[in-house]
Amino acid sequence: MIVPYSHVLALAGIVFLMGMVCTVTRRNLIMILLGLEIMLNAGALALVGASLRWMSMDGQAMALFIIVVAAAEVSVGLALIVCVYRRTGSVDPNFTETAAPEKPSV
């Protein structure tokens, strides 16, 4: 391995921290979803680095599954965001709590 394993883990940690900051600080559902995507990619990066460190294909296989799950998460998440936007007219997470339609009385 050309790059030291500690550098790969440091890069994965920095990328994960950037995704966490994006998820926590943004007030937009699309940016929150993007932050979650970045955190999943950081986990995949750490698994690929560990796979190269210990010369095993298990980490790369898990990284492939993480990428597949991330793609499914994005498609479902964007569909839910479009549904929320059509219902409330906003993608602000706080606005969706206060603008939820009332349930009809029976």
Q: With respect to residue 42, please indicate whether it lies within any of the assigned structural domains.
A: yes
The pTM of this model reads: 0.82
Taking only the tens place, the pLDDT of each residue in 6-48 is: 999 999 999 999 999 999 998 888 999 999 999 999 999 999 9
Count structural domains, the chain.
1
Answer for the pair 93, 27: CB distance below 8 angstroms, yes or no.
Answer: yes
Question: The tokens of 79 are what?
Answer: 């569909």
Does position 1 have pLDDT exceeding 80, yes or no?
no
Angle at 14 between CA 60 and CA 51, to 5 degrees: 20
Q: What is the pLDDT of residue 98?
A: 57
Q: With respect to residue 98, please indicate whether it lies within any of the assigned structural domains.
A: no
Taking only the tens place, the pLDDT of each residue in 49-90 is: 999 999 999 999 999 999 999 999 999 999 999 988 888 888
Task: Give CA separation, 20 vs 1, 15, 47, 63, 72, in Å.
Answer: 28, 9, 18, 19, 20
* Domain range for 89: 5-93
Helix (H, G, I), strand (E, B) or coil at 74: helix
Q: What is the pLDDT of residue 100?
A: 56
Q: What is the pLDDT of residue 37?
A: 94
Query: Which domain CATH number covers 63?
Result: 1.10.287.3510
Q: With respect to residue 102, please indicate whether it lies within any of the assigned structural domains.
A: no
Residue indicated by tokens 């349930």: 103
Q: With respect to residue 106, please indicate whether it lies within any of the assigned structural domains.
A: no
